[in-house]
Amino acid sequence: METLRIGAIAAALLLAGCRSPAPPARQAEPPRAAAVTSPQEQPDTTPPADVSHGEAPIGGPEAEPAPRLAQLEPAERTRLHRVRLEIVHETVSIAPGVKYAAWTFGGTVPGPVQHVRQGDTVDFTLVNEANIPHSMDFHAAEIAPSKYYVNVMPGDSLHYRFVARVPGAFMYHCGTAPVAMHIANGMYGALIVDPATPRPKARELVFVQSEFYETAKPAADGTVSLDWQKLLGQAPDHIVFNGRASQYATHPIDVRPNELLRLYLVNAGPNRISSFHVVGGIFNRVFEDGSQANPLEGVQTVNVPVGGGSIFELRLRQPGDYPFVTHAFADATKGGVGVLRAGEPGKRVAVGTAAH
Ligand SMILES: [Cu+2]
């Protein structure tokens, strides 16, 4: 503790010394942090009402657009899935009041969720309606990148097939160089492959975590775009689940107490590892990076690497609001947070009325 205190005094003196004129430092009584840090450097320490670990207010203004649904639709009962995606450059809303000039698969960020069963064939067509080359890399496929993950010129298209042999929660993304730029601009999505032997019935939700790095000054039309230096410095402005900061905090997801939840989390990055955690919950099973072998049991937080996807099963034992976060809390503060609301749809469960 003494070492820490001396360190704090040294830091305070150093900061005080940066100012001109420097106030006289009193060694016996170090100045409080607030006295040596400018207002811009201070976080807002006023807790928003109705928040616990969420880092974002729960419930939001009606004027905000409805969030993207996290519900995973069942896989179509066919062995051949025709998937056609058009690449378009489109302005998307990534946070309240923030319009981003994105590059997209199908006009949304992330692109549409694909859901198939193990052994199914994906018959894929990519159409480039944008003005620069793009491509497509399916992590669920085992095919030669040099043949299929090739650039599609503006106005051109590409077609290939693959068999989804391996179950899991897979990322798909544009693979055109610089890949970090194409991913940071929004070119990614999730492809869920169910095992041939179905898992137990559950409420299934899918989340794609990703980052946005925005230019300091908006363009004339009010949109922001990619700040490449921020990307290289891994200093995103927004961390998002399904394309929009904190959207499931402002619009909590209704679930039922004790029902089996299965959460698919694909981390598109392009840079930040997700330390996925549900406040108030413990995962009874986690299929790390989608692996069927030896799922983790009884764990609290599991990293999902960039470019990976894991499957989380849990039950929320009591009625109430349960934030889900990346427990790297700088990233949660930047929007990597949502809320699972275990209770009657739309009905707030007051603190103190839990079942036990
Ligand atoms: Cu691209």
Distance 137 CA to ligand 1 centre (A): 10
CA–chain centroid gap for 110, Å, is: 10
Distance 276 CA to ligand 1 centre (A): 27
Which residues neighbour ligand 1 (ion) by CB within 5 Å?
134, 174, 176, 182, 187
pLDDT (0 to 100) of residue 341? 95
The whole-angstrom separation of Cα 184 and Cα 95 is 15
Query: Long-range contacts made by residues 145-152, C-beta under 8 angstroms, separation at least 24?
Result: 145/175, 149/175, 151/176, 152/87, 152/126, 152/127, 152/128
pLDDT (0 to 100) of residue 18? 35
The whole-angstrom separation of Cα 352 and Cα 356 is 10
CA–chain centroid gap for 231, Å, is: 16
For the chain, which residues make up each domain, given as ranges? 80-197, 204-342
Distance 81 CA to ligand 1 centre (A): 23
Distance 112 CA to ligand 1 centre (A): 16
pLDDT (0 to 100) of residue 76? 96
pLDDT (0 to 100) of residue 342? 96
Distance 34 CA to ligand 1 centre (A): 45
Distance 132 CA to ligand 1 centre (A): 8
Distance 202 CA to ligand 1 centre (A): 35
Kindly report the number of other CB atoms within 10 A of residue 20's CB atom: 5
pLDDT (0 to 100) of residue 39? 53
204-342 has the same fold as 80-197 = yes
CATH topology of domain 80-197: Immunoglobulin-like (2.60.40)
| R_g over Cα of the chain | 23
Distance 255 CA to ligand 1 centre (A): 36
CB-based contact 242:65 (threshold 8 Å)? no
Distance 151 CA to ligand 1 centre (A): 8
pLDDT in tens, the chain (356 residues): 344 444 443 343 333 333 333 333 434 444 444 444 455 567 667 655 455 565 677 776 655 666 789 999 999 999 999 999 999 999 999 999 999 999 999 999 999 999 999 999 999 999 999 999 999 999 999 999 999 999 999 999 999 999 999 999 999 999 999 999 999 999 999 999 999 999 999 999 999 999 999 999 999 999 999 999 999 999 999 999 999 999 999 999 999 999 999 999 999 999 999 999 999 999 999 999 999 999 999 999 999 999 999 999 999 999 999 999 999 999 999 999 999 999 965 455 444 333 33
pLDDT (0 to 100) of residue 25? 40
CB-based contact 115:73 (threshold 8 Å)? yes
> Is domain 204-342 classified as CATH 3.40.50.2300?
no
Spell 95-117 as b/e; 16+ CB within 10 A means b.
Answer: bbebbbbbbbbebbbbbebbbbb
